[in-house]
Chains A and B, each alone.
Chain A
Amino acid sequence: MTRAPDSRTPPLAALDPRRAGGVRGDALLTAGLRLGFLALILLVWAGIARVAPPGLFASPIAVAEAGWRMAGEGRLLPALGASLTVYLGGTLIAVIFGAGLGFAMGMWRMLGRTIDVYVMALAATPRVAFIPLIIVALGLGVQAKLVVVFLGAVMPVILNAYAGVRAADPELLEMARATGAGRARILRHVILPGAMPYLLTGIRIGATIGLINTIVAELYTAIAGLGGLLALYGSRFRMAEYLAVVVVLAVIGGTMTETLRLIEKRLLRWRDG
């Protein structure tokens, strides 16, 4: 009724091997353009560093040297390890818990209807507001940091998993029932795969908030990790070292987003064939 079937599509156009070469060519072009744009950013950055008052900014080369030095002195890697532990740990727990709760809310409508307004209210509250409470409860250590990251990353995961289950196509549900499929089979083969695009979007948003909250946690609880280095170099106006940490954070964020995008592309390859 709603999906207009298009019978004019040439059959199997997407399986045509000739198109594969075109796709690879496109990917190469995109990679080239991105590298070109990176060069442009570095040029502009270098230009600004040249005209900025000394001590307030640092050139890309100075930043690279600072990063190299920090790594050599053994200050960067332990901080990176600490931050990644908190970030990946907190986000992973958020994905597992959030997907479970969101799916449960969608499956048991009573549960969903009862608590969805509270989840949304909590999602709209700045989670930073809970940091003093978390410190009182859990102290300043790794646990407190994990909770701060978890609280940030979990909300979009819950809400999107919930929305994904609720968006299940009633026509596909009826089709499944007509084949004699039971509840478990319908859940596994119809509802959960249908909710996957929503869930993956939720995870991508959650992972972004998780990284932000990692730094927030490292600044507000026991100063540690990359957030700790930001505070240290920032307060002493050591801009080259400070910007080196910022670059590392950008690389972490970019790598995470790109990895999730690849996973998404792989899992959802059925969408455009």
Chain B
Amino acid sequence: MPTGNAPILSASGLCAELGGRPVLEDIDLTLRRGEVLVVLGPSGCGKSTLLRLLGGLIAPGSGRVLLAGHPPRPGRGSATVFQNYRLLPWKSVIDNVVFALPEVPPTQARLRAAEVLGLVGLSRVSDAFPAQLSGGMRQRVALARALAPRPEVILMDEPFSAIDAQAREIMQGELLRLTRAVGGPGVVFVTHSVDEALILGTHVLLLSPRPGRILRRIAPPDWQGDPMAHPQFAPLRRQLWEELKESVLNDPNSDFHRAAL
């Protein structure tokens, strides 16, 4: 994988507030093409806010983000996949994908949409409405919509947490295959699942409870096949899980704070 190239996305000293209360503190990160940066943390640690900052949907309180050398702007070089698909229910599958190509002429946009639907294995249902699809299929449409504009970075906000376990495992494999197939965009993947973080991540950032700070950075090894069967998987998983649990137990705002138990 081309990891020796320059970062396409970087953030330094990133801080954010929501309603006057700090949500994120001093986040530094870099992402290169072909990498999957997993942001792992407990609920409410500002993971979604971080994605909004990286996609240019909101501006940081301080610090800065650079995407391909410029401050990020929505739809310019980045695409987002949300947890609950967010498909337009009144548009067919293919038109949902076309919607993500506002600046492409209609005929070409349809061709491109058909192409990415083929990539995610949904050519057969391109004229169906989202209400006719299962959760896993809807999330694949959302993934196709994100791939269509050939973004440099795909921002994914717990994209597989709403679909069943089997579909999730298939989608994780698909994601790794697809991000390599389209010329390797960088992926920032937010999750609260330690397993998912280790399976998908080339890099993992562990965030503290709110306000989110980076507690630890790790680079899981190249698993080569089934990650769970790799001798390093279990120890790494235990280590990350212990650290995540500690941070939650020590968080006075958590339902699971030591004093409360």
Within 8 A of A (CB), among B117-148: 125, 128-138, 145
A272 to B132, CA, bound (A): 7
Determine if A171 and B86 form an interchain contact, defined as CB atoms under 8 angstroms apart.
yes
Q: Report which residue of A3, A5, A15, A194 has the largest number of chain B beta carbons within 10 angstroms of its beta carbon.
A: A5
A22 at the binding interface (Cβ < 8 Å): no
Determine if A15 and B75 form an interchain contact, defined as CB atoms under 8 angstroms apart.
no
B245 at the binding interface (Cβ < 8 Å): no
A112 at the binding interface (Cβ < 8 Å): no
The answer, among B73, B84, B86, B91, for a CB contact under 8 Å with A180, is B73
B100 at the binding interface (Cβ < 8 Å): yes
Question: Within the complex, what minimum Cβ distance (angstroms) separates B186 from chain A?
Answer: 16
Within 8 A of A (CB), among B67-108: 73-76, 78-80, 82-86, 88-91, 99-100, 102-103
Determine if B89 and A5 form an interchain contact, defined as CB atoms under 8 angstroms apart.
no
**With A1-B84, A180-B76: A273-B135 Cβ-Cβ less than 8 Å:** no
Q: Which residues of A contact B149 (CB under 8 A)?
A: 179
User: Can you name the residue of chain B whose Cβ is closest to the Cβ of A272?
Assistant: B131
Segment at the interface with B among A6-14, A149-157, A204-212, A233-241: A6-14
B234 at the binding interface (Cβ < 8 Å): no
Determine if B164 and A175 form an interchain contact, defined as CB atoms under 8 angstroms apart.
no
* Interface size of A as a range: 35 or more
Determine if B82 and A180 form an interchain contact, defined as CB atoms under 8 angstroms apart.
no
Q: Which residues of B contact A8 (CB under 8 A)?
A: 134, 164
**With A179-B79, A270-B131: A189-B86 Cβ-Cβ less than 8 Å:** no
Q: How many residues of B contact A (CB 8 A)?
A: 40
User: Can you name the residue of chain B whose Cβ is closest to the Cβ of A177?
Assistant: B74
**With A270-B131, A273-B132: A11-B164 Cβ-Cβ less than 8 Å:** no
Question: Within the complex, what minimum Cβ distance (angstroms) separates B238 from chain A?
Answer: 30
User: Can you name the residue of chain B whose Cβ is closest to the Cβ of A194?
Assistant: B90
Determine if A178 and B134 form an interchain contact, defined as CB atoms under 8 angstroms apart.
no
A260 at the binding interface (Cβ < 8 Å): no
Q: Mark B224-239, 1 if CB is under 8 A from A, else 0.
A: 0000000000000000
A10 to B132, CA, bound (A): 9
Q: Which residues of B contact A181 (CB under 8 A)?
A: 75, 99, 102
Determine if B128 and A271 form an interchain contact, defined as CB atoms under 8 angstroms apart.
no
User: Can you name the residue of chain A whose Cβ is closest to the Cβ of B92?
Assistant: A270
Q: B-side binding surface: helix, strand, loop or mixed?
A: loop
The answer, among B90, B91, B164, for a CB contact under 8 Å with A7, is B164
Question: Within the complex, what minimum Cβ distance (angstroms) separates B170 from chain A?
Answer: 12
The answer, among B75, B129, B135, B136, for a CB contact under 8 Å with A179, is B75
Determine if A171 and B88 form an interchain contact, defined as CB atoms under 8 angstroms apart.
no
Determine if B128 and A179 form an interchain contact, defined as CB atoms under 8 angstroms apart.
no
Q: Which residues of A contact B100 (CB under 8 A)?
A: 179
Question: Within the complex, what minimum Cβ distance (angstroms) separates B219 from chain A?
Answer: 28
B163 at the binding interface (Cβ < 8 Å): yes
Q: Mark A1-35, 1 if CB is under 8 A from B, else 0.
A: 10101111111111100000000000000000000
The answer, among A5, A15, A189, for a CB contact under 8 Å with B138, is A5
A261 at the binding interface (Cβ < 8 Å): no
B6 at the binding interface (Cβ < 8 Å): no
A185 at the binding interface (Cβ < 8 Å): yes
Q: Which residues of A contact B162 (CB under 8 A)?
A: 5, 7
Determine if B132 and A14 form an interchain contact, defined as CB atoms under 8 angstroms apart.
yes
A40 at the binding interface (Cβ < 8 Å): no
Question: Within the complex, what minimum Cβ distance (angstroms) separates A15 from chain B?
Answer: 6
The answer, among A1, A11, A172, A194, for a CB contact under 8 Å with B134, is A11
Q: Which residues of B contact A3 (CB under 8 A)?
A: 84
A189 to B8, CA, bound (A): 31
A8 to B167, CA, bound (A): 11
Q: Report which residue of B85, B99, B136 has the largest number of chain A beta carbons within 10 angstroms of its beta carbon.
A: B99
Question: Within the complex, what minimum Cβ distance (angstroms) separates B98 from chain A?
Answer: 10
The answer, among A5, A9, A12, for a CB contact under 8 Å with B85, is A5
Determine if B131 and A179 form an interchain contact, defined as CB atoms under 8 angstroms apart.
no
Determine if B131 and A271 form an interchain contact, defined as CB atoms under 8 angstroms apart.
yes
A193 at the binding interface (Cβ < 8 Å): yes
A182 to B102, CA, bound (A): 9
Question: Within the complex, what minimum Cβ distance (angstroms) separates A175 from chain B?
Answer: 4
Beyond the given A179-B102, A180-B103, please list 6 additional residue pairs across the A-B interface where CB-CB is below 8 A. Answer: A5-B84, A9-B133, A12-B128, A179-B99, A189-B99, A196-B90
Chain B interface (Cβ < 8 Å from any Cβ of A): 55, 57, 73-76, 78-80, 82-86, 88-91, 99-100, 102-103, 125, 128-138, 145, 149, 162-164, 167
